[in-house]
Structure 1
Amino acid sequence: MKTFCITAIVLLLAVTITQAAKKEKVEFKNDESGKKVEVYLSGKLFTAYIYPDNMEKQSLYPIMSASGKFITRGFPLNPRPFERTDHPHHVGLWFNFGDVNGLDFWNNSYAIKAEDKPKYGTIKFRKILSENPAKGTLVTNADWVDVKGNVLLNEEATYIFEGDGSTRTIERITKLTAKQTVTFNENKEGLIGLRLDRTFEEPSTKPEKFLDANGIETEVPVMNNNGVNGVYRNAEGVKGGDVWSKRSPWVALRGVKDGEVMTVAILDNKANPNYPAWSHARGYGLFATNNLGGRIFDKNAAEVKIVLKPGETITFKHKIVIGGDLTDATLNNLSKNFK
């Protein structure tokens, strides 16, 4: 009996050590002159937190798979051949919203005319609050401002980067503190978004037109579909473009790039307002999850209107999973354990 217990303990320790060994080492390289913090896992570039002065928000860009393949689109920062060049505000992974006190933070970019800028909001980088490679955490601070620089919200964003050699994850915890009375009105343009590599798009069969929060039209043309094979699905079994406007604890996008099966998923957190979130996922490469969409997505939904008084806060948690051929069972388990 004693021998059995000792053997069991040894086996348990071996499993624990093996599991611990799978977790990749996180390293941050702070490049203040380049206005970015690069994130490395096991010595390989995973992503970078970028905060250039000529962007209207900060983002994680680019994002790489464990095998070193681009997950995100290159345009507009580093265009790659045969990419779409629509929606220049879609850069890497970002977090913002289309109606905060009537201001559109989502669609703001260099493409907005100067005379229209008062309709838009900008997220101004303030500082890096902390870096903890041992825990894979990066904490940043920014202000959501209007065209005159008046602060509506202060943002504290905590990023948690992890990997095990084949799967990588990014958790973003976004804490927003009102600096004046702030109202979030239901809007489709939000909340956490990714703009993905061509592989993950759905093959295009006809040109499409999309309206932003201000009614401005963007046309997305038909393009060469070589290597384009993305397919969406959600936890309820809805597939393809039909995931748009549906509520689900997770939405996944599967594609095959250079012979490698890859899946990108966005997980909503049970503690978020209006869980589960509405999907704002489009076949042309926009992959977003929106907790504040409400009746914009579903006319039968309850009205979404969140008012924060000065000093009040609201927090959102989301997780991005990048892996191989992730099954529904795997994603359900990840969702269940996303605390």
Structure 2
Amino acid sequence: MRQFLVILLLAGLSLSTQAQSNTVQVAHNESQKRVTVTVDGKPFTAYIYPGPTVLKKPVLYPIMSAGGNFITRGWPLDPRPGERIDHPHHVGMWFNYGDVNGHDFWNNSTDIGPSHAGPFGTIVHTGVKSMKSGKGQGELVVTSDWLDKDGKVMLQETTTYQFLAGANNRIIDRSTTLKAAGKDVVFKDNKEGMIAVRMARQLEQPSTKPEVFTDAQGVATKVPAMNNEGVTGLYHSSEGIEGDAVWGTRAKWMKLTGKLGNEPVSVILMDHPKNVGYPTYWHARGYGLYAANPLGASVMSSGKAPAMNYTLPAGQSVTFRYRLLIQSGDVSDDNIAKMNQW
């Protein structure tokens, strides 16, 4: 923690003594199948695992800024007026992949469209190993099984979340270790992956395409012309690429800037130098999908790079690490680079 605070001080993010007064409380409610994370009693996020009849994987949902605004979309769990109602598998912040031994974990939901044939895999929560609350930070360690279409375990997952809170920022560090169970597991080169957040409408990039949105009663409404009022998102990568052009490019980190009401925010997702495929490809779309895909080298580069088809031998493990920073205000490229050395 001390080293982390030094990095933040160098980055000018003011997470020193003032931030350490912020108490991060991590609390498990087994009956509700959720672990809530609060900062001085105010909501930050929650790890939820309602089960396959509701969600086909555990997720962090919702996620809020230091200013108390949602950075994540509400639909389909808690629809808010004016939201898109596409991609029902895009919920909160999640981690999965589109082709794992032929199984689609990414597109699985309770409302699968005809374009997705399967077979589908499901990630099932198996336990809360430990929790820690404290000044300025909290921790949660959970386990899950990645199941094939017949309910057999393909991968065993152990994920550690570190939740950090400053006066003007929130940070989620996710470290996920996957262990192949009874046989080799192949992550075939695929577009759909891997760490992802579905953003609130305000943090989408403005668009002119006709879409379907929810009204105040949560009813689907076709909108022939887009109303971009309050829609302020803009992607910016570590390589200086911006807007829709970031899709399919490689970068150490990505920054999404915008405004949530009166709060300007920067939502930064960072790849870890020790991750497979570093620096990752970015599966980031203007409509609010914000994802990093380290394993889809060929499809993400439109065939310019060879297919990765990453293989995890039976009994072996691999770890993926990511950091999500939610900053009230802007963060310079230099300061992000300093923070990307955890």
**2:234 matched to which residue of 1?**
231
Distance across 1 between alignment mates of 2:148 and 2:260: 40
Q: Which residue of 1 aligns with 2:105?
A: 105
Question: What's the TM-score once normalised by structure 2's chain length?
Answer: 0.87
CA RMSD of aligned residues (A): 2.0
Aligned to 1:194: 197
1:30 is displaced (CA, Å) by 1.2
| Aligned equivalents of 1:146, 1:220: Cα separation in 2 | 38
1:168 is aligned to: 170
Normalising to structure 1: TM-score of the pair? 0.87
Query: Hey, what does 1:6 align to over in structure 2?
Result: none
Change in CA separation of 1:175 and 1:222 when aligned onto 2, cut-off 3 Å? farther
Aligned counterpart for 1:273 among listed residues 266, 272, 276: 276
CA displacement 1:44-64 (0-9 Å, x = unmatched): 110000000221001000000
Q: Which amino acid aligns with 2:157?
A: E
What does residue 285 of structure 1 align with? 288
Could you tell me which amino acid in structure 1 is paired with residue 103 of structure 2? L
Q: Which residue of 2 aligns with 1:313?
A: 317
SS in 1 for 2:159: strand
Q: Are the equivalent residues in 1 in contact too, given 2:67–2:263 (CA < 8 A)?
A: no
Aligned residue number for residue 303 of structure 1: 307
Partner Cα separation in structure 1 for residue 335 and residue 203 of structure 2: 20
Would the aligned equivalents of 1:186 and 1:296 in 2 still touch at CA under 8 Å? yes
> Which residue does the alignment assign to 1:47?
45
**Highest RCO, 1 vs 2 (Cα 8 Å, sep ≥ 6):** 2
**Could you tell me how far 1:237 is from its partner in structure 2?**
0.8
**Cα 1:302–1:221 shift into 2, 3 Å:** farther
Computing the radius of gyration over CA atoms, which structure comes out larger, 1 or 2? 1
Q: Distance in 1 between matches of 2:31 and 2:225?
A: 39
User: In the alignment, which residue of structure 2 is the partner of 1:205?
Assistant: 208
Aligned length: 310
Letter in 2 for 1:322: I
Distance 1:293 1:128 in 2: 31
Q: 1:271 to 1:202 in 2, by over 3 A?
A: same
247, 251, 272: which one pairs with 2:250?
247
2 CA distance for matches of 1:278 and 1:131? 32
- Per the TM alignment, residue 117 of structure 1 is displaced from its structure 2 partner at its CA by 7.3
> CA distance change for structure 1 residues 26 and 186 in 2, over 3 Å: closer, same or farther?
same
* Unaligned residue ranges in structure 1 (runs of 5+): 1-17, 209-218
Is the aligned partner of 1:65 residue 2:65? yes
Query: Could you tell me how far 1:223 is from its partner in structure 2?
Result: 3.1
Q: Name whichever of 174-183 and 323-332 sits farther off.
A: 323-332
Mapped partners of 1:206, 1:112: distance in 2: 23
Paired residue type of 1:151: V
Which residue, 14, 19, 23 being the options, matches 1:22? Answer: 19
> Is this contact kept in 2: 1:117–1:147, CA < 8 A?
no
Stretch of structure 1 that moved more, 83-92 or 22-31: 22-31
Superposed CA offset, 1:74-106 (max 9, x none):
000000001000000000000000010011100
* Match in the other structure for 1:329: 334
**Greater helix share, structure number:** 1
- Call closer, same or farther: CA 1:97–1:220 in 2, change over 3 Å: farther
Matches within 5 A, 1:72-87: 72-87=72-87
Q: Residue 328 of structure 1 aligns to which amino acid in structure 2?
A: D
Supply the distance in 1 between the matched residues of 2:248 and 2:297 (Cα, whole angstroms).
Answer: 9
Of 172-181 and 306-315, deviating more is: 306-315
Give 1:13's aligned residue: none
Cα distance in structure 1, aligned partners of 2:223 and 2:280: 26
Shift of 1:161: 0.3
Following the alignment from structure 1 to structure 2, what is the Cα–Cα distance between the partners of residues 293 and 304?
A: 7
Whichever residue aligns with residue 92 of structure 1, its letter is G
Take 2:191 and 2:26, find their aligned partners in 1: how far apart are those partners? 34
Decide which moves more: 240-249 or 19-28.
Answer: 19-28
**CA distance in 1 between partners of 2:126 and 2:113 (Å):** 25
Q: For structure 2, list consecutive stretches of 5 or more residues without a partner in the other structure.
A: 1-14, 212-221
User: Distance between the aligned counterparts of 2:118 and 2:184, measured in 1?
Assistant: 18
Give % identity: 46
* Partner Cα distance (1:107, 1:223) in 2: 26
Q: Is the 8 A contact 2:104 2:118 kept in 1?
A: no
Distance 2:298 2:158 in 1: 28
Structure 1: which 4+ aligned runs deviate by more than 4 Å? 219-222
Determine the C-alpha separation between the residues in 2 that align with 1:178 and 1:102.
15
CA distance in 1, matches of 2:145, 2:17: 37
Alpha-carbon offset, residue 222 of structure 1: 5.2
